[in-house]
Each structure stands twice: as structure tokens, then as C-alpha cells.
């Protein structure tokens, strides 16, 4: 799977949008971009994923650049409960049920009151 690069930490004011960038310049055509987050002392939680179109769900929006070399996770109205480590992962969806997730160090997002 392609490697990703994320800033080690970011701050965001409560109520403002949090924009978390991810660089995946070596992504290949059959690799999807996934975002997970890990709140302190909990297991990682799936947020959203996409291939090349922008995606939105009840938690967040995912914006993928046209060349697919980078993406941004957007939390539209950050709350204190969004303080967590956010992981950007790219993985091949092969059509088989078997896959592993390759985590980097992620971005530690701190939402400030």
C-alpha cells in the first residue's frame, strides 16, 4: 500500500472547521483513501473513505484532489470530543475480503475551547 504523510499535530478552535491534510503522492489507481481516528485509550474508529470523488457522511467530508496525490479530511464544526489522533490510510481494494490496514503516526488534533 502507498505511504502517507501527515502533519504530526494541529490545533482547531471549538466550533470551527478542522481541515486535516494528507499527502499520498505514490497512490495507485486501485487504492482508496481511508480515514480513521483514535480517541485516547480507545481503539481506532472508521470515519470515511473514497476513491476519487469527494465524499460526505454524518461525521466528516473527504476532499481528494483531481490527481489523487493528496486529500483533506474536514470536520465541519469541531467539538472537544473530536480531539484525537487522525490516521490517513491508503489501501488496495482488491475484491478479496482479506486486507490489512497500515497505519502511520497520524495527526494529533487538539480542539481548543
In the complex with other proteins, which residue's Cβ is closer, 50 or 70?
Answer: 50
> According to the 3-state scheme, what is the secondary structure of 33-90?
EEEEEECCCCCCEEEEEECCCCEECCCCEEEECCCCCEEEEEECCCCHHHCEEEEEEE
Residue choice 60, 87, 90, 111 for contact with other proteins (CB under 8 A) = 87
Least distance between other proteins and beta carbon 72 (Å): 19
Tell me, residue by residue from 7 to 46, as one string, x for binding to other proteins by CB under 8 A and - for no binding: -------------------------x--------xxxxxx
What's the DSSP call for residue 17? P
The footprint of other proteins (CB under 8 A) covers: 32, 41-46, 85, 87, 93-106
Amino acid at each position: 500500500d502507498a505511504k502517507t504523510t501527515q502533519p504530526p499535530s494541529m490545533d482547531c478552535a471549538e466550533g470551527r472547521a478542522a481541515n486535516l491534510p494528507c499527502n499520498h503522492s505514490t497512490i495507485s489507481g486501485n487504492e482508496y483513501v481511508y480515514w480513521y481516528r483514535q480517541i485516547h485509550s480507545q481503539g481506532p474508529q472508521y470515519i470515511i473513505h473514497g476513491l476519487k470523488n469527494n465524499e460526505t457522511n454524518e461525521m466528516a467530508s473527504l476532499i481528494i484532489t483531481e490527481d489523487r496525490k493528496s486529500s483533506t479530511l474536514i470536520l465541519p464544526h469541531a467539538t472537544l470530543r473530536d480531539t484525537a489522533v487522525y490516521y490517513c490510510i491508503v489501501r488496495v481494494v482488491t475484491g478479496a475480503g482479506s486486507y490489512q490496514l497500515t497505519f502511520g503516526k497520524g495527526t494529533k488534533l487538539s480542539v481548543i475551547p
